[in-house]
């Protein structure tokens, strides 16, 4: 069987390190004991036609194994989980519930977290950023409260660790340093359990070691503009 090849960035800003979506794919591959190769992209090259032929939105990761090419981290993780043992239960009902939690992570919990990242980082120099924050935070707190209530004192979301937990922990990690997850001790402990798994540590180390490239032209000016916006 040919080794899968995933794509990843060779450079991202410090705030994005450890959060780029190839991490979830690496983690899934590590969980199932599957070796893989990485094709690194410099910033900007992900928008070139060659990469858009595999990822029409010009993002990472992609996954290629033989003739199969996939994009979207959730779809890739689901494929890995379906074709290797270890990330989905054996019984059909358990498998369906694990996949349900994958969708919940990406479609229910993540959208307000993405809004938070946009307002807090990418557009924090814009006049509409701070006025939006209370409503964005309120939506996140509602989702986290619901999730914490469902998790209660369980170790994982539905029985044993699954692809659903992998994706949910990946989503919750986007709130690092915000204090929002820590406001729910059960969720903070849940994330800690996920990130303590050896497969996660290997995946994170591999991603961090791959950041050997240089920032694109104009990044320093953008960073200075962001800093000025934060200080205003």
Convert the pLDDT of each residue in 105-156 to its tens digit: 999 999 999 999 888 877 777 887 788 889 999 999 999 999 999 999 999 9
The pLDDT value given to residue 220: 59
Instruction: Identify the residue with better confidence: 123 or 18.
Output: 18
The pLDDT value given to residue 128: 78
Angle at 173 between CA 12 and CA 30, to 5 degrees: 80
The pLDDT value given to residue 222: 53
Q: How far apart are CA 61 and CA 63, in angstroms?
A: 7
Structural contact between residues 84 and 36, judged by C-beta atoms closer than 8 angstroms: no
Q: Is the pLDDT of residue 226 over 80?
A: no
Q: Please name the helix (run of DSSP H) or strand (run of DSSP E) that holds residue 65, with its range, or none.
A: strand 62-65
Quote the strand ranges of 154-209, DSSP E.
none
Alpha-carbon distances, residue 139 vs 130, 144, 145 (angstroms): 15, 9, 10
In the chain, CATH 3.40.30.10 covers: 5-86+200-220
Strand partners, 38: 6
Q: Could you report the per-residue pLDDT of 200-223, keeping only the tens digit for each?
A: 999 999 999 999 999 987 765 655
Structural contact between residues 12 and 211, judged by C-beta atoms closer than 8 angstroms: yes
Q: Could you report the per-residue pLDDT of 49-87, keeping only the tens digit for each?
A: 999 999 999 999 999 999 999 999 999 999 999 999 999
In the structure, what pLDDT confidence band is assigned to residue 230 with cuts at 50, 70 and 90?
Answer: very low
In the structure, what pLDDT confidence band is assigned to residue 224 with cuts at 50, 70 and 90?
Answer: low
Burial class (CB in 10 A: 0-12, 13-18, 19+), 1: exposed
Q: Which of 30, 26, 36, 33 is nearest to 3 (CA)?
A: 36
Structural contact between residues 53 and 7, judged by C-beta atoms closer than 8 angstroms: no
**Class assignment of domain 5-86+200-220?**
alpha beta
Question: What is the separation, in whole angstroms, between the first and last Cα of the chain?
Answer: 56
Give the CATH number of domain 92-196. Answer: 1.20.1050.10
Give the mean pLDDT of 25-30: 98
| Per-residue burial over 41-52, b = 16 or more CB atoms within 10 Å of its CB, e = otherwise | bebeebeeeebe
Q: How far apart are CA 52 and CA 59, in angstroms?
A: 8
Q: What percent of the chain has pLDDT over 70?
A: 94
Give the mean pLDDT of 6-27: 96
In the chain, CATH 1.20.1050.10 covers: 92-196
In the structure, what pLDDT confidence band is assigned to residue 168 with cuts at 50, 70 and 90?
Answer: very high
The pLDDT value given to residue 219: 67
The pLDDT value given to residue 223: 57
Q: How far apart are CA 148 and CA 130, in angstroms?
A: 27
Strands 62-65 and 68-71: antiparallel
The pLDDT value given to residue 225: 56
């Amino acid at each position: 069987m040919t080794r899968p090849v995933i794509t990843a960035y060779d450079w991202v800003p410090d705030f994005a390190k450890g959060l780029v979506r190839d991490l979830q794919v690496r983690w899934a591959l590590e969980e199932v004991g599957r070796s893989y190769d990485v094709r690194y992209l410099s910033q900007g090259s992900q928008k070139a036609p060659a990469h858009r032929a595999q990822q029409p939105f010009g993002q990472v990761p992609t996954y290629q194994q033989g003739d199969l090419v996939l994009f979207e981290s959730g779809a890739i993780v689901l494929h890995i989980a379906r074709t290797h043992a270890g990330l989905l239960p054996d019984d059909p009902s358990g498998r369906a519930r694990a996949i349900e939690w994958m969708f919940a992570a990406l479609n229910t919990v993540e959208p307000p977290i993405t809004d938070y990242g946009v307002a807090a980082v990418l557009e924090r120099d814009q006049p509409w950023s701070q006025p939006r924050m209370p409503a964005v935070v309120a939506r996140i707190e509602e989702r986290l409260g619901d999730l914490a209530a469902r998790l209660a004192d369980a170790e994982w979301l539905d029985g044993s660790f699954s692809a659903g937990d992998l994706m949910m922990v990946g989503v919750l990690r986007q709130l690092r340093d915000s204090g929002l997850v820590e406001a729910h001790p059960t969720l903070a402990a849940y994330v800690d359990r996920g990130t303590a798994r050896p497969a996660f540590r290997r995946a994170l180390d591999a991603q961090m070691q791959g950041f050997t490239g240089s920032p694109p032209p104009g990044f320093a000016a953008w960073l200075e503009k962001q800093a000025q916006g934060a200080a205003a």
